């Protein structure tokens, strides 16, 4: 079943980038938003792909001042939200902070995620709720069980055809704020359409090396 596109204006969408965490598994003492990806901070790589989005919110916590300084030097219309409990909460807490006063449709975007530009462009044009899935690549993925209609029916650590990327387009008024994982906020809304996208998540040093090479190679696997 095809996913509908083109019906929702970007003026009715809010992008929420969650990058409050400490990135401890990467082990470099720096928020992943600021790591260098072929000459540019990861957060700038993301914002370059969101230049046509008028409501972009970045949820900060660890090293918030540094993130804000870098972002403001690139773009001055970004809204910053604060997750002061970043040490004890997950991405759902950050995402929930960004939901306050958001537009009718919201896009969840993890701060450690790189998306192939053409795939993100297509995803942002969707006009129905959808989650992004990629081929399983990480060491401990959250997997998605998908039905014959191309919809997710279950998140699982044990089985599933695609890996959950952290990218989702959702109706704001269907979401209940939480403090653990974004996918747990999505579970009550299923089934939801799935779009296959090419991504790199930066979670470990090996992930980082792969992401840099991917970008250098023009986002080709």
Q: Which domains does the chain have, with CATH numbers?
A: 11-216 (3.90.550.10)
* Closest listed residue to residue 105, CA positions, set 203, 8, 2, 40: 8
| Ranges under pLDDT 50 in the chain | none
pLDDT of residue 7: 65
* Closest listed residue to residue 13, CA positions, set 116, 130, 112: 130
pLDDT of residue 2: 59
- Would strands 143-146 and 151-156 be described as parallel, antiparallel, or unpaired? antiparallel
Other CB atoms within 10 A of residue 28 CB: 12
pLDDT of residue 114: 97
* Closest listed residue to residue 13, CA positions, set 58, 47, 55: 55
The Cα 135–Cα 133 span in angstroms is 7
The pTM assigned to this predicted structure is 0.94
pLDDT of residue 23: 80
**3-class SS at 47?**
helix
């Amino acid at each position: 079943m095809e996913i509908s596109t083109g019906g929702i204006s970007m003026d009715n969408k809010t992008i929420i980038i969650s990058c409050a965490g400490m990135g401890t598994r990467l082990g470099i003492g720096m928020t992943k938003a600021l790591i260098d990806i072929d000459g540019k901070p990861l957060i700038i790589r993301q914002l370059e792909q969101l230049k046509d989005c008028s409501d972009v919110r970045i949820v900060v916590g660890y090293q918030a001042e540094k993130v804000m300084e870098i972002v403001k030097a690139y773009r001055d219309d970004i809204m910053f939200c604060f997750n002061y409990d970043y040490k004890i909460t997950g991405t759902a807490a950050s995402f929930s902070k960004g939901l306050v006063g958001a537009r009718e449709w919201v896009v969840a975007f993890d701060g450690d995620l790189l998306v192939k530009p053409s795939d993100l462009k297509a995803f942002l044009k969707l006009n129905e709720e959808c989650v992004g899935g990629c081929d399983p690549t990480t060491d401990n993925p959250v997997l998605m069980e998908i039905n014959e209609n191309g919809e997710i029916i279950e998140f699982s650590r044990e089985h599933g055809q695609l890996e959950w990327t952290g990218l989702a387009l959702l109706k704001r008024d269907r979401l209940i704020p939480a403090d653990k994982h974004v996918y747990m906020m999505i579970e009550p809304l299923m089934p939801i359409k799935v779009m296959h996208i090419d991504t790199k998540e930066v979670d470990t040093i090996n992930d980082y090396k792969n992401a840099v090479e991917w970008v250098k190679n023009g986002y080709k696997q």
